Amino acid sequence: MEKRTVFSHKLLPYALLAPQLLVTIVFFYWPAGQAVYQSFLIQDAFGISTEFVWFENYRSLFSDPAYYSALGVTALFSTVVTVLSLSFALILAVEADKSLKGAGIYKTLLIWPYAVAPAVAGVLWLFMFQPSLGVFGKMLNAAGFNWNPYLNSGDAFALVTAAAVWKQISYNFLFFLAGLQSIPKSLIEAAAIDGAGPTRRFWSIVFPMLSPTAFYLLTVNIVYVFFDTFGIIHTVTRGGPAGATTTLVYKVFSDGQAGGDLGTSAAESVILMLIVIGLTALQFRFIERKVTY
């Protein structure tokens, strides 16, 4: 039987929740509500003439091929970045978890990129891979590859993906490493005594024991790709060439900022919000069931 302390005061729980609720209302519900309202308006940039149009902004969005292209780019981008950054991080964490000489140094170095802001990560990668100034960009061209992220959509997508993955590996690594270290050594030793090889031990014991961490990371990574990669895209490709790196969040920005079209931009951000809410709910509903805690 669990021990419970009972407070008789009815208002106390609300009072304790109030600061958190206030923060959520001011920083989430209020702006989100404004976005929903704005998405029903067609307005000039200055807000001088306003027309209430119900769902017209949404309708015109869903008849715009560029929007579907952004949806496709986002789906591909989030899948590739999440899969790659989680797998690399897992491999690195498993390796760093072994008793190596100088493991501390490896671990510290692997965590460093996490401290780099997305925009800075973007500039770093562009600096290396700019086709005519970047060291690696020049090398690729000298080696006969026609490397030009300003024109070739594949190149641009690869560059943005590389920067986004590189930046996220640290974070995933940190959590995987912590997850690995919390697995009781006795389990692994017992398996080893029973004759399970390293591969078998990994898939039968380590991997399932890591699943809560992996699940958490999956959610965080998808949110990261949806929103935080904006800085990378903005510094490296600005959504180009030909929309090849225009993700949903980048389109929200470019329609609202460059286009001054706040209605469409707001409609896009509302849809984006629904997608992320939906994805997160799905993950908790279905994937969480398969997770061993």
Footprint of another protein on this chain (CB under 8 A)? 42-49, 51, 60, 66, 131-133, 141, 148, 150-153, 238-243, 254-255, 257-261
Residue pair 273/39 in contact by the 8 Å Cβ criterion: no
* Cβ at position 115, least distance to another protein in Å: 25
Nearer to another protein, 147 or 175 (CB): 147
Contacts of 33-41 with CB under 8 Å at 24 or more apart are 35/266, 35/269, 35/270, 35/273, 36/266, 36/270, 38/262, 38/263, 38/266, 39/263, 39/266, 39/267, 39/269, 39/270, 40/263, 41/262, 41/263, 41/266
How many whole angstroms separate alpha carbon 149 and alpha carbon 236? 9
Query: Based on CB atoms, which residue is closest to another protein, 119 or 183?
Result: 119
Q: 132 or 186, CB closer to another protein?
A: 132
In terms of CB distance, is 201 or 251 closer to another protein? Answer: 251
Least gap, CB of 165 to another protein (angstroms): 24
Nearer to another protein, 44 or 95 (CB): 44
Q: How far is the CB of 75 from another protein (least distance, A)?
A: 20
Residue 251 C-beta: closest distance to another protein, Å: 11
- State the minimum distance, in angstroms, from the CB of residue 157 to another protein: 13
Q: For another protein, which is the closer residue by CB, 8 or 132?
A: 132
Q: How far is the CB of 132 from another protein (least distance, A)?
A: 5
Closer to another protein by Cβ: residue 147 or 215:
147
The minimum distance between CB 46 and another protein, in angstroms, equals 4
